[in-house]
Structure 1
Amino acid sequence: MTAIACADLEAEAVSAWFGERKVLDRVSLVMPPGSVTALIGPSGCGKSTFLRILNRMHELVPGASLAGAVRLSGVDIYDPGRKLTDARKQIGMVFQKPNPFPAMSIHDNVLAGLKLTGVKASRSEKDALVEECLTKAGLWQEVRDRLRSPGGALSGGQQQRLCIARSLAVRPKVLLMDEPCSALDPTSTRRIEQTIGELAHEVTIVIVTHNMQQAARVSQQCAFFLAEQGTPGVIVESGATKQIFEDPVDQRTADYVHGRFG
């Protein structure tokens, strides 16, 4: 299999607004290559907004704006000379609700991103890529005999793994995941977590999760977001997951990870 080149991702002093309302205030975070960084914190503290800023989705919201820099391997993805499609190709996204193209076959779902990014490939190359990406997403053995069936006919957990395969097909350096297991049953959740673990050495992963046990299981780095009493979201504390859960510096972090609020 072809290895995916992972890269470091760094946010520096990122602030974000929806109209006049400021939702993030000067958030800085390094997301190391080849590892999983979990974004944790109560609802409404800006985690998903931050995630969307990392691949230039925030700017698609009417009235949304931002300040700061997001660097992929040292290059700011918001540099005026950079194309939006370049950022999307290098930084993939898997959403909370599985969103395969329901009428499109499993095979064509995996390849959908190639058309959007203008990548040309022969039929044999496409077939090999479909097998590779479905294998990496932990789905190949389950669907290999029905690749021409509609993606929408799969179970929820399978659909989410199909979306992961679709993201991998364009060879991203980073994969963003916005609560990828929140709509799934425990068995599917375990399978997705296993997939995340298998992918982490070859693609930098950033995951938003409300499940503290999941954050502890899948991530090596953790960032705790909080928005208190109407103020914008900030990172209270970030660092190695073990330290955040077992020996946090800030009492608010300890209270959150031990379920005392949120």
Structure 2
Amino acid sequence: MTLTFPQVAVGGATLSAHDVSAWFGTHKVLERVNLTMAAGEVTALIGPSGCGKSTFLRILNRMHELVPSASLAGEVRLDETDIYEPGRRITDTRKRIGMVFQKPNPFPAMTIAENVLAGLKLTGTKVSRGGRVDLVEECLTRASLWHEVKDRLREPGGALSGGQQQRLCIARSLAVRPDVLLMDEPCSALDPTSTRRVEETIHLLRSEVTIVIVTHNMQQAARVSQQCAFFLAEQGTPGQIVESGPTDEIFDSPSDERTNDYVNGRFG
């Protein structure tokens, strides 16, 4: 079933990678990746395991550099700002580029409301007491979770179902007003009903934040994204983008036979 939503003004920012290469020690894992992820669109990163999709996603908000042996070359720009420019604080980048991980990770000792607000302290964002109450409702609403938990805000975040926990993590990311939301296989651990709700949330959010999602589910990529990039690492070579473009074209009329084989399930 095709999901349709009304068109509203586009928010978010354009994220772009320019000749990005990456290493772990001496092992090169990405080779000269160029990709523009536009505001108002969901960009899906697809490809078999081990081709560098998740590494690339982590480069987009400077998580790659937390690995002691990691290094990279090239540029990542948020609109016109290079997020790796010398002197730029990593917290400034994380505030503008949020991340939702494969496994829901609410803070178990915190209530639902406290989980939503957790990022404020980490990023040094100040909000009044009354503003916090409004922010909790706003972010849970944007994450399509408010009506399910509005009477349970003082319960632990870990008491929610898996799908609810994932939407709580989305709400937590939204609380610091990011321009971009990165998602690393956000539905891989969820049942079909929870997956649909997360996908509906993605559709609703894309007019407000730029979304980049890694997924191994080709049907999901086709459902949620407007742009798609196919990554591949062949015979021990670093991962690179074989082709990218509008999702419909990647799935219906790809220019490279390897892309056609992958999206039709012939390998990977």
TM-score tier after normalising by the smaller chain length: over 0.9
Question: 1:53 maps to what in 2?
Answer: 59
Gaps of 5+ in 1: none
Question: 1:238 maps to what in 2?
Answer: 244
Q: Does 1:184 align with 2:179?
A: no
Aligned length: 260
Identical counterparts, % of pairs: 78
**Residue number among 224, 228, 239 corresponding to 1:218 in the alignment:** 224
Check the 8 A contact 2:76/2:84 in 1, yes or no.
Answer: yes
3-state secondary structure, aligned to 2:92: helix
Q: For 1:171-203, what per-residue CA distance to the aligned partner results, in whole angstroms no more than 9, with x for missing partners?
A: 000000000000000000000000000000110
Change (3 A) 1:4 1:158: farther
Q: Does 1:63 align with 2:74?
A: no
3-state secondary structure, aligned to 2:183: strand
Q: For 1:81-110, what per-residue CA distance to the aligned partner results, in whole angstroms no more than 9, with x for missing partners?
A: 211000000000000000000110000000
Question: 2:134 maps to what in 1?
Answer: 128
Question: 1:175 maps to what in 2?
Answer: 181
Q: For 1:98-132, what per-residue CA distance to the aligned partner results, in whole angstroms no more than 9, with x for missing partners?
A: 00001100000000000011111111100100000
Question: 1:86 maps to what in 2?
Answer: 92
3-state secondary structure, aligned to 1:229: coil
Check the 8 A contact 1:110/1:130 in 2, yes or no.
Answer: yes
Matches within 5 A, 1:24-63: 24-63=30-69
Q: For 1:111-166, what per-residue CA distance to the aligned partner results, in whole angstroms no more than 9, with x for missing partners?
A: 00000111111111001000000000010000000101000110000000000000
Check the 8 A contact 1:4/1:173 in 2, yes or no.
Answer: no
- The alpha carbon displacement at 1:32 in A equals 0.5
**Residue number among 149, 158, 161 corresponding to 1:155 in the alignment:** 161
Gaps of 5+ in 2: 1-8
- The alpha carbon displacement at 1:5 in A equals 4.0
Whole-angstrom distance in 1 between the partners of 2:133 and 2:246: 39
- The alpha carbon displacement at 1:4 in A equals 8.9
TM-score by length of 1: 0.98
Q: Does 1:22 align with 2:28?
A: yes
Residue identity opposite 1:67 in structure 2: A
Whole-angstrom distance in 1 between the partners of 2:79 and 2:132: 28
Whole-angstrom distance in 1 between the partners of 2:166 and 2:10: 20
Matches within 5 A, 1:187-206: 187-206=193-212
TM-score by length of 2: 0.96
Q: Does 1:116 align with 2:122?
A: yes
3-state secondary structure, aligned to 1:65: strand
Q: For 1:45-77, what per-residue CA distance to the aligned partner results, in whole angstroms no more than 9, with x for missing partners?
A: 000000000000000012000000000011100
Check the 8 A contact 1:93/1:177 in 2, yes or no.
Answer: yes
